[in-house]
Amino acid sequence: MRTVRLTKESRKNLLQDLLKRSPNNYGQYEETVASIIADVRQNGDQALFSYTKQFDRCEITADTVRVTAEEIEEAYTKVDQALIEVMKKSAANIRSFHEKQLRNSWFDPKPDGTILGMKIMPVSTAGVYAPGGKAAYPSSVLMNVIPAKVAGVERIILATPPGPDGKVNAGTLVAAHIAGIDEVYKAGGAQAIAAMAFGTESIPKVDKITGPGNMFVALAKKACFGYVGIDSIAGPSEILVIADETANPRYVAADLLSQAEHDELASAILITNSEKLAKAVSAQVDEFTAQLARKEIIQKSLDNYGYILLVNDLDEAVDAANEIASEHLEILTRDPFALMTKIKNAGAIFLGEYSSEPLGDYFAGPNHVLPTNGTARFFSPLNVDDFMKKTSIISYSRQALEEIHTDIECFAENEGLTAHANSIKVRFE
């Protein structure tokens, strides 16, 4: 891995380099995605099935677009029983973690007859997208569906592309069933997002769309935002490790490669104040890469967006980490909890040498749908609140309003909105 001494100039160049991976730079595909969305919005199932034939090489009709109970049963026979049991354990951990996020409606009555509050309710219908083919990740199905179930969403649908044989990935179906969802549709890409955003004859319109996908899915979610809610516009995966001389270089190297294998745009960065560790990690990365199944992808990822950054001290490392705002942040230092208190921007923080990033991806319980490309500055992990909506409650008695009505009239008249002022004034003529 390339090693760079972190300076003001190299930090600027690094951030510019990483931002090239943002979905905001997929502009050349926006016109294609817009035309697909417009077609599905106008022509419904006809357009959806046409794109499925074109892109997935699969003939789908209104009679076959929804996965049947028999297909779900068949999927269970194709997935290893040990994996099924692991998915059930993972689902229980995810559910337990997200149940702690639930919030109740609240009301605050005052003696003068004022009642203020917030009514908190789930959205009615949620749509989850799950990639297909080699990019099928059952863990993401659990991570997207379970928070919606915990939130109390009445209807949750899953859209995922079929293979040429008309079948959906068996692991995806089993994960969906374990998570508590039976309504699965054979639709992928931008056309699936459009179908869920606007509805077709076969696929219902939803209120919120979540789930990962390729650049066309990301752009479709971006284009449909406003017609429906979305979780975020996810970019390529990334990991940042802060480590000092106490870190095990084998652990650090293994953790960096756990994200580099995702795709050629994935980013893996080590920030350390130890030149000795930097050299050891670089050598270990080379050794591991030669042995791993996805070594071509890993190498391209490291060549494009892999860095070892040398800093003078850990405070400088924290400053850089907060500026990068990585999706995954591991802290492998003598006192990781102390350093964690200084972190302001990260999707998820993993503390200590036995808390490697895949623990969060698969099993611990916190959501692995995380903000990428620096958006951890203002976005949060997918959570129960993403499937909730809030309505303000306001109730004033005559006594309560009488005490402050001239204040409201003053404010409204100052803004030139005399009808607003009159709406209050008429009650006390």
- What positions carry a catalytic annotation? 327-328
Contacts of residue 2, defined as CB under 8 A and 6 or more positions apart, other chains included, come to 306, 307, 308
Reported as type and span, the H/E element at residue 349 is: strand 348-351
Do residues 177 and 146 lie in contact, with contact meaning Cβ atoms separated by under 8 Å? Answer: no
Collapse the DSSP code of 317 into the 3-class scheme (helix H, G, I; strand E, B; otherwise coil) and give the result. helix
Do residues 278 and 308 lie in contact, with contact meaning Cβ atoms separated by under 8 Å? Answer: yes
Q: Rounded to an integer, what distance in angstroms lies between the CA atom of residue 267 and that of residue 236? A: 8
DSSP string for 359-387: HHHHTSSS------TTGGGT-----GGGG
Alpha helix (H) residue ranges in 213-367: 215-224, 249-260, 275-291, 295-305, 314-324, 336-340, 357-362
Bridge-based pairing of strands 267-272 and 306-310 is parallel
